Amino acid sequence: MKRNKKERQQLLIDTIKGNPFVTDEELAEKFSVSVQTIRLDRLELSIPELRERIKNVAEKRLSDEIRALPIDEVIGEVIDVNLDQNAISILDINKEHVFKRNGIARGHHLFAQANSLAVAVIDDELALTAKASILFTRSVRENERVVAKARVLDTASSDRSIVEVNSYVGSELVFKGEFEMYHSCQPEKGGENENSH
């Protein structure tokens, strides 16, 4: 059903309000118009592009919650975090992330996304990676989106936590890691922390 521009733009506002992570391509399909038309609508309505919207949503909600590092130091965009439980981030693989000759993402970007998410999920001022066990399960290519999901499995001791991170492209697992995180369990009564180094 063809809608006039005013109706379409109102629906566009409502749709993006309901799901800030919807892409221009998905919107174009939903409203049976070109991606270019959606971009022009967004421009007229001063709605930022997806990447900016994700960043805004994440920063509003998460900058107060994440304690172990500033949100802009997390590799990828954090879109959800429940401290000491779970967290999700997304990383769009662009030209700067891949090897020129084959368009395959450099492994350290996937590791950095997972590792920084493992740090971000810890509810402490200081969280450091003590040990990591990682596995790359398939190559990731330019223009793919990697969704990393962190889950705190175990608080092994008062100053150690085990965080599992699985990263996906679509429903396909591309990376898995288990991170042993050291954190500075701050003493309650202002005493010296024996483990500080």
Highest mean pLDDT among 19-28, 83-92, 147-156: 83-92
CATH code assigned to 5-47: 1.10.10.10
More confidently predicted of 148 and 56? 148
CA 78/CA 125 separation, integer angstroms: 18
Taking only the tens place, the pLDDT of each residue in 109-126 is 999 999 999 999 998 888
Tokens of 7: 């109706």
Entry pTM: 0.65
Q: Are 125 and 186 in contact (CB under 8 A)?
A: yes
What CATH architecture is 65-183? Roll (3.10)
- Averaged pLDDT, 166-178: 96
**pLDDT of 60 strictly over 80:** no
> CATH topology of 5-47 equal to that of 65-183?
no
- Domain range summary for the chain, segments of one domain joined by +: 5-47, 65-183
Query: Mean pLDDT across the chain, nearest whole number?
Result: 85
Distance between CA 197 and CA 32 in Å, rounded? 60
Say how far apart CA 78 and CA 64 lie, in whole Å.
13
Q: What is the pLDDT of residue 58?
A: 60
Burial of residue 70, with CB atoms counted within 10 A of its CB: 0-12 exposed, 13-18 middle, 19 or more buried:
exposed
Rounded Cα gap, residues 141 and 169, in angstroms: 10
